[in-house]
Chain A
Amino acid sequence: MNIIVCIKRVPETTDADISIDKSGKDIDKSSLVFDLNEWDSYAIEEAILLKEKLGGTVTVISMGGEESNESLRKCLAMGADDAIRLTDPAFNGSDGFATARVLAEAVRKIPYDLILTGTQAEDDGYGQVGVVLAELLGIPHAAVVNRIEVQDKRLKVHRELEGGLEEVVEIDLPALLTIQTGINEPRYVSIMGIRKVAKKEIKSFGAPELNLKADEVGLSGSDIRLEKVFLPPVGEAAEILEGKPEEIALKVSEILRDKGGLS
């Protein structure tokens, strides 16, 4: 089975102190650490597990700057065979739709049976790129997948719905699945592992190689435009408990007594 996995390098923001940059259209990323999008780490692991079981190849593709090599190399170290980077100034500012369009042109050049993407990206959170990509390629898809069983020329997959309910669907190959976290346990990549693939070639394509015109991608090829970013308004914000740890502990015990009925 030949599998393509679309991956994205994203800034780690949950733990970070973030601020808005001068443009007012994004956060200041200069001091942030980047990593492979969480959902994509499950997608690449799933692809490698399938390859280990069934043979075939895994190709990872990422649209982004040269820095994306870092995430592509991580995937190679995990066991991917090939890596492709899609880089062009014309791609900057692409929304979910334009991103899928760029990815589609790259995917068309490669034979595949299955495409995996993450359910969503941690940064823009569109939850859109994978499903649009399937539509542009004219193949069936299933989103939010948390289990895959291969049955000859088709798959039996579980889609995660709300409240613990799952939907089982059968889908013919070639197909695209967007992968949900928890489907597997992504393997650990050591520094040694990354070093081993440091010299592996990462192919890079721009708009001309993909036969894309500048106005089909990037800002001009996008349907939506980000006007400005701002900190979420604090509604009825929490009352912050301050003081020494001892004092905070005392307040918590009072709240538990008054509101939780703790004796």
Chain B
Amino acid sequence: MKEIVVIAEHRRGELRDITWEMLCKGRQLAESAGANLNAILLGKGVNHLAEALKPKVNKVFLIEDERLESYNSETYERALVRLITERKPWLTLIGHTATGMDFAPSLAARLKMPLATDCIGIEIEGETCSVIRQLYGGKINASVSFVKQGPYMATLRPGAFPVLEKDPLPGEIVPLPSPLAAETLARRFLQYVEAAVAEVDITQADILVAVGRGIKDAENIPLVKEFADSIGGVLACSRPVVDKKWLPKGCQVGTSGKTVRPKVYIAIGISGAFQHVAGMKGAGTVIAINKDPKAPIFNVAHYGIVADLFKIVPVIKDKIKGLRKS
């Protein structure tokens, strides 16, 4: 019987959303292929996480070791190489997250296993697998096949696979001895550091005006700032605007920034890369302004305005000012 395994991602005592997303997709794949769905959990003092995973899988392989307490690509790789070589799962699923991007490529290379990264779709077709990935910042989709025979490895994009309720499985926790020896590591975890607290809290605003690279230059920021002020909104932005230091980090929406759920989110000159969308898709109503009708942001927006922001934003600002005065 085929085996599909999900490498559970967790941090500071909690399983991350991507783990549930992978388990749900894994379940569907397992059902379609008549396979077993198992999870691998590495850590220290994570029995409660194994319990949480149990109803979602046939087996939870649990390795506890103090060297696995904080994620480290080296210890993860050593433990996983051993486990995967022994069990030979036909498909291994890992999250395309900061963690997955750090160990999946080297793990696959070490195991000589074909890897498809950042998949937004994956299906089993007989003895092989086909995946969908995105190219060019999400403007194009590609169907991709594996050339060689399985086993395969794939990293799944966070937020691309819905979490649906399913009947629980008769899960079983299988504790395994740690294969890690007391060897010196070339990479050592030191600590986590938290982002500094921002001056303005964009997570509390009802109306957010978010600006992206389309704003072109720091000197154009006042245009959107005035617009935000005129509608009682708060200014937010995509990552490049922070990278270029046009706005502070606390304004950034997305996977590596803030997750926001305003009543209205107005995205101006933002293309809609998944790392950005992940942070704003909980917004009540999304209005996107972009000059490119094919910008991916129009797939998540409720209302779209295909226009040059420099032409349309001043008009909207003046109109609303006029209406609110009268």
A163-B298 in contact given A255-B287, A262-B232 (Cβ < 8 Å)? no
User: Distance in Å from the Cβ of B106 to the closest Cβ of chain A?
Assistant: 4
Residue-wise interface mask of B (258-272) relative to A, using a CB-CB cutoff of 8 A (1 in contact, 0 not)? 110011100000010
Our pick among B135, B187, B259, B305 for the contact of A172 (Cβ within 8 Å) is: B187
A122-B136 in contact given A140-B74, A224-B146 (Cβ < 8 Å)? yes
CA distance A135 to B141 in the complex (A): 29
Which residue, of A160, A240, A261, has the highest number of chain B Cβ atoms within 10 A?
A: A240
CA distance A227 to B125 in the complex (A): 15
Q: Is the CB of B320 within 8 A of A224?
A: no
A255-B304 in contact given A13-B136, A248-B312 (Cβ < 8 Å)? no
Residue-wise interface mask of A (87-127) relative to B, using a CB-CB cutoff of 8 A (1 in contact, 0 not)? 00000000011001000000000000000000100111111
Residue-wise interface mask of A (157-179) relative to B, using a CB-CB cutoff of 8 A (1 in contact, 0 not)? 01111111111111110010010
In the complex, whether A33 has a CB less than 8 A from a CB of chain B is no
CA distance A224 to B147 in the complex (A): 5
CA distance A135 to B112 in the complex (A): 11
CA distance A134 to B147 in the complex (A): 23
Q: Is the CB of A185 within 8 A of B245?
A: yes
Q: Is the CB of A17 within 8 A of B292?
A: yes
Our pick among A127, A182, A238 for the contact of B243 (Cβ within 8 Å) is: A182
Which A residues touch B323, using CB under 8 A?
250, 253
A238-B301 in contact given A140-B186, A156-B190 (Cβ < 8 Å)? yes
In the complex, whether B237 has a CB less than 8 A from a CB of chain A is no
Q: Is the CB of B243 within 8 A of A241?
A: no
Our pick among A14, A15, A132, A175 for the contact of B105 (Cβ within 8 Å) is: A132
A169-B72 in contact given A128-B115, A182-B239 (Cβ < 8 Å)? yes
Of B22-30, B39-47, B94-102, B174-182, the one contacting chain A is B94-102
CA distance A253 to B146 in the complex (A): 50
User: Which residues of B from 71 to 121 have beta carbons under 8 Å from A?
Assistant: 71-74, 96-99, 101-106, 108-110, 114-118
Which A residues touch B191, using CB under 8 A?
167-168
With an 8 Å Cβ cutoff, the count of chain B residues facing the other chain is 103
In the complex, whether A228 has a CB less than 8 A from a CB of chain B is yes
Q: Is the CB of A164 within 8 A of B186?
A: no
CA distance A15 to B270 in the complex (A): 10
Q: Is the CB of B117 within 8 A of A128?
A: yes
User: Which residues of A from 218 to 234 have beta carbons under 8 Å from B?
Assistant: 222-234
Which A residues touch B72, using CB under 8 A?
169
Q: In terms of DSSP, what is the predominant structure of the interface of chain A? A: mixed
Closest to A241 in B: B305
Q: Is the CB of A261 within 8 A of B102?
A: no
In the complex, whether A235 has a CB less than 8 A from a CB of chain B is yes
User: Distance in Å from the Cβ of A68 to the closest Cβ of chain B?
Assistant: 18
CA distance A129 to B190 in the complex (A): 26
User: Distance in Å from the Cβ of B101 to the closest Cβ of chain A?
Assistant: 5
In the complex, whether A150 has a CB less than 8 A from a CB of chain B is no
Our pick among A17, A166, A232 for the contact of B140 (Cβ within 8 Å) is: A232
A-B contact pairs, 10 of them (CB 8 A): A119-B101, A122-B137, A126-B117, A128-B117, A134-B106, A169-B187, A170-B187, A230-B143, A249-B316, A255-B303
Chain B residues packing against A (C-beta within 8 Å): 11, 16, 70-74, 96-99, 101-106, 108-110, 114-118, 130-131, 133-148, 186-195, 206-207, 213, 231-233, 239-240, 242-245, 249, 255-259, 262-264, 271, 284-288, 291-292, 294-296, 298-299, 301-307, 311-312, 315-316, 318-320, 323-324
Chain A residues packing against B (C-beta within 8 Å): 11, 13-18, 20, 27, 96-97, 100, 119, 122-132, 134-136, 139-144, 156, 158-172, 175, 178, 181-182, 185, 222-235, 237-241, 245-246, 248-253, 255-256, 259-263
**Besides A27-B135, A167-B191, A262-B207, 15 other CB < 8 A contacts?**
A14-B271, A20-B140, A125-B133, A127-B101, A128-B105, A132-B108, A167-B189, A224-B144, A225-B145, A229-B143, A230-B143, A237-B299, A248-B315, A249-B320, A256-B320
